[in-house]
């Protein structure tokens, strides 16, 4: 039971970061919340003993996808309905 506490905390953090991604009006903050979601899900994969998937999720989800989203936000606009 005591070793499940980090697992439960990671699951609650996943739900919280997903809600934050949905509710932020600032798209840059929403992108950073999505990066936090990706990092937490890679931690979850590591807890479930799948280090292969954890490495690829941490590199692609938390690194490259966030960079691509930030580049796209820089090219368009920071808030919804705004065209730079």
Partner 1 sequence: MSRIVRTAADIIYPFILIFGLYVVAHGHLTPGGGFQGGAVIATGGALVIVAYSYAEVREWLSKNVLMGQEVIGLVGFIGVALIAFAFGQVFFFNYLNASGSLFGIPVPYGINAGELNTGGFVPLMNFSVGCEVWGGLTLVILYMLSGLEKEGC
Partner 2 sequence: MKKMIVLFTSLLILSAFLGVMALTFTFGAPKMTDMDDYFLRFGQEQTGTNNQCTSVTFDFRGFDTLGESTVLFCAVIGVALIFRKMQAGEEYEDE
Residue 16 or 28: the one with the smaller Cβ distance to partner 1 is 28
Residue 20 or 63: the one with the smaller Cβ distance to partner 1 is 63
Residue 1 or 81: the one with the smaller Cβ distance to partner 2 is 1
Q: What is the end-to-end Cα distance of the chain in Å, rounded?
A: 51
| Positions 45 through 64 that interact with partner 2 (CB under 8 A) | 48-49, 52
26 phi-psi bin (left φ>0, alpha ψ -120 to 50, beta other)? beta
Which residues, 6+ apart, have CB-to-CB distance to 21 below 8 Å? Answer: 30, 33, 34, 37
How many chain residues are in contact with partner 1, going by CB under 8 A?
16
Min separation Cβ 84 and partner 1, Å: 6
């Amino acid at each position: 039971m005591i070793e499940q506490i980090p697992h439960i905390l990671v699951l609650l953090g996943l739900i919280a970061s997903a809600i934050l991604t949905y509710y932020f009006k600032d798209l840059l903050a929403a992108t950073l919340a999505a990066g936090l979601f990706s990092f937490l899900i890679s931690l979850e994969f590591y807890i479930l003993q799948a280090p292969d998937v954890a490495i690829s999720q941490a590199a692609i989800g938390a690194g490259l996808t966030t960079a691509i989203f930030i580049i796209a936000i820089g090219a368009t606009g920071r808030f919804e309905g705004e065209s730079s």
